[in-house]
């Protein structure tokens, strides 16, 4: 099929590359001409395992600006950003602009199919349909028609290609059965695994048979928000119990295993720690709460999910204060800047809130991350943090070392040697990634979460 993808960001580019790999002819459009130039050279503006390898393959994948819009595409995907507004609502300016441009540039084409991949509030697919129809009517296209579908993505950063090639489900919402059938056809190679996913991707631990779920646009749009809210709630749930476990002397890892083996609950997203971050959970919960507010409907579970998550950040500081008594003037080393491993993304990263709180309390903060430092410096130039090239530098003369991201590299550091160069041997493991016994043997006061 001929596919156009509007937006060469994280979701757009990953989707474009995967669709081209599965045999479709894909053209990806972005308004950022610099970005397009770099993509044509094979340079990617974010860190994602496998994406460079995939783009360097022989694929029918091209990049261009709006002037290269192909009016003959079978499907036009919108994958532009929907950043949060100050009231939590999603800013739909880029979506509306894309709809307007599609309507304008597809003049005289009898029928177009538009698919929304961006995460958008319920009702946006209808809005996009009406913008495009109006633009086409205004340009005198009386017979022109447009159908829309919502096709949300469920990609995890750092595992985006794995999740694209081995999805648990593909959700498609549309009032047009013809468009649903086209999307079923588009995704057939992934749904039936008739084309083997790229060899450089990890294999799933057990066979995954993806489901194809077809529904209305409103339900598809809500599925995305409900999925992210549920995952965030699951993490906040285990974090809330982690706090209680600390009072009771129970071990949250054992508790998580004990409940996760109940098939009705499942073991994933029960890792206690400094809380969730990233570009989706916080933003999508904010949008959902803003939507509910419009109907004067309270979503107590979602509000509590956010409150518990904020408390996880504060709890780390409380643990520090309890141990050090005085934070003013203390040297604090931090390992992990990104919101999770295998990404340089720092959006809503626990590191941001925690380093700001530490600075407010008068601490000197040094931090290390294997990939996220330059991105963090670019996005948050004012953050009062000294960045280090090596984890050991962050630990030097430190009164405490905090682990905020569970990068694999931090698993195998020589902690005994690190303890020697610290001023006080206090290790707060915000991701429960290290072995507490071994750390205590290395002379640390070791404190995890729960």
Strand pairing partners for 345?
none
Whole-number minimum distance, CB 403 to ligand UDX, in Å? Answer: 12
Least separation in angstroms between CB 137 and ligand UDX: 35
Q: Is 280 a catalytic residue?
A: yes
76 touches ligand UDX (CB under 6 A):
no
270 touches ligand UDX (CB under 6 A): yes
Map residues 340-379 to x or -, x wherever contact with ligand UDX holds by CB under 6 A: x---------------------------------------
> Which x/- pattern, by CB under 6 A, does the window 271-300 give for ligand UDX?
x-x--xxx-xx-------------------
* Binders in 125-154 for ligand UDX, by CB under 6 A: 153-154
Nearer to ligand UDX, 61 or 155 (CB): 155
Q: How far is CA 54 from the centre of its chain?
A: 20
The answer for residues whose C-beta is within 8 angstroms of residue 370's C-beta and 6 or more apart is: 407, 409
Burial category of 272 from C-beta neighbours within 10 Å (exposed 0-12, middle 13-18, buried 19 and up): buried
Pick the closer one to ligand UDX by CB: 291 or 305: 305
Judged by CB, which is closer to ligand UDX: 73, or 405?
405
Residue 168's CB is within 10 A of a number of other CB atoms, namely 10
- The answer to the question of residue 46 lying near ligand UDX (CB under 6 A) is no
Q: Which of 153, 148, 169, 164 is nearest to 218 (CA)?
A: 148
Residue 98 contacts residue 7 (beta carbons within 8 Å): yes
- Write down the least CB distance from residue 388 to ligand UDX, Å: 22
154 is in an annotated binding site: yes
Q: Restricting to residues 182-241, which ones interact with ligand UDX according to CB under 6 A? A: 228, 231, 235
Residue 406 is labelled as binding a ligand:
no
Quick check: 13 and 83 in contact, CB under 8 A? no
Least distance CB 397 / ligand UDX (angstroms):
29
| Residue 91 assigned ligand-binding role | no
Burial 27-65 (b: 16+ CB within 10 A, else e): bbbbbeeebbeebeeeebeebbbbbeebbeeebebbbbe
Q: Which residues are annotated as a binding site for NAD(+)?
A: 30, 82, 119, 157, 283, 347
Q: Which residues are annotated as a binding site for substrate?
A: 154-157, 224, 269-273, 277, 340
Question: Applying CB under 6 A, which residues contact ligand UDX?
Answer: 153-157, 228, 231, 235, 269-271, 273, 276-278, 280-281, 339-340
Residues belonging to the active site:
280
Q: Which residues are annotated as a binding site?
A: 30, 82, 119, 154-157, 224, 269-273, 277, 283, 340, 347
């Amino acid at each position: 099929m001929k596919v156009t993808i509007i937006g060469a960001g994280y979701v757009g580019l990953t989707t474009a590359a995967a669709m081209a790999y599965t045999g479709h002819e894909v053209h990806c459009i972005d308004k950022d001409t610099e970005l397009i130039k770099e993509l044509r050279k094979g340079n990617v503006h974010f860190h994602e395992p496998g994406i460079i390898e995939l783009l360097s393959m022989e694929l029918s994948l091209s990049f261009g600006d709006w002037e290269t819009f192909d009016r003959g595409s079978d499907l036009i995907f919108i994958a532009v950003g929907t950043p949060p507004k100050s009231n939590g609502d999603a800013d739909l300016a880029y979506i509306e602009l894309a709809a307007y441009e599609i309507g304008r540039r597809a003049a005289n084409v009898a029928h177009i199919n538009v698919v929304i991949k961006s995460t958008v509030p319920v009702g946006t697919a209808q809005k996009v349909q009406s913008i495009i129809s109006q633009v086409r009517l205004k340009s005198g296209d009386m017979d022109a028609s447009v159908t829309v579908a919502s096709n949300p993505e469920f990609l995890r950063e750092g595992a985006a290609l794995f999740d694209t090639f081995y999805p648990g489900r593909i959700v498609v919402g549309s009032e047009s059965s013809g468009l649903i059938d086209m999307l079923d056809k588009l995704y057939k190679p992934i749904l039936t695994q008739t084309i083997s996913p790229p060899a450089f991707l990890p294999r799933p631990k057990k066979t995954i048979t993806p489901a194809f779920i077809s529904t209305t646009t409103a339900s598809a749009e809500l599925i995305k928000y409900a999925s992210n809210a549920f995952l965030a709630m699951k993490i906040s749930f285990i974090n809330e119990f982690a706090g209680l476990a600390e009072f009771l002397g129970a071990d949250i890892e054992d508790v998580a295993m004990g409940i996760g083996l109940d098939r009705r609950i499942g073991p994933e997203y029960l890792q206690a720690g400094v809380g969730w971050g990233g570009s989706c959970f916080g933003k999508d919960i904010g949008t959902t709460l803003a939507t509910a507010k419009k109907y004067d409907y309270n979503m107590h579970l979602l509000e509590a999910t956010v409150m518990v998550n904020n408390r996880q950040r504060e709890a780390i500081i409380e643990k520090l204060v309890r141990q050090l008594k005085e934070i003013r003037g203390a040297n604090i080393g931090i390992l992990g800047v990104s919101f999770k491993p295998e990404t340089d993304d720092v959006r809503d990263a626990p590191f941001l809130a925690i380093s700001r709180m530490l600075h407010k309390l008068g601490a000197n903060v040094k931090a290390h991350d294997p990939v996220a430092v330059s991105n963090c410096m670019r996005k948050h130039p004012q953050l009062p943090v000294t960045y280090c090239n090596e984890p050991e530098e962050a630990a030097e003369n430190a009164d405490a070392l905090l682990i905020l991201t569970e990068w694999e590299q931090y698993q195998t550091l020589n902690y005994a040697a690190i303890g020697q160069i610290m001023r006080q041997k206090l290790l707060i493991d915000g991701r429960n990634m290290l072995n507490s016994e071994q750390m205590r043997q290395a002379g640390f006061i070791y404190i995890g979460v729960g």
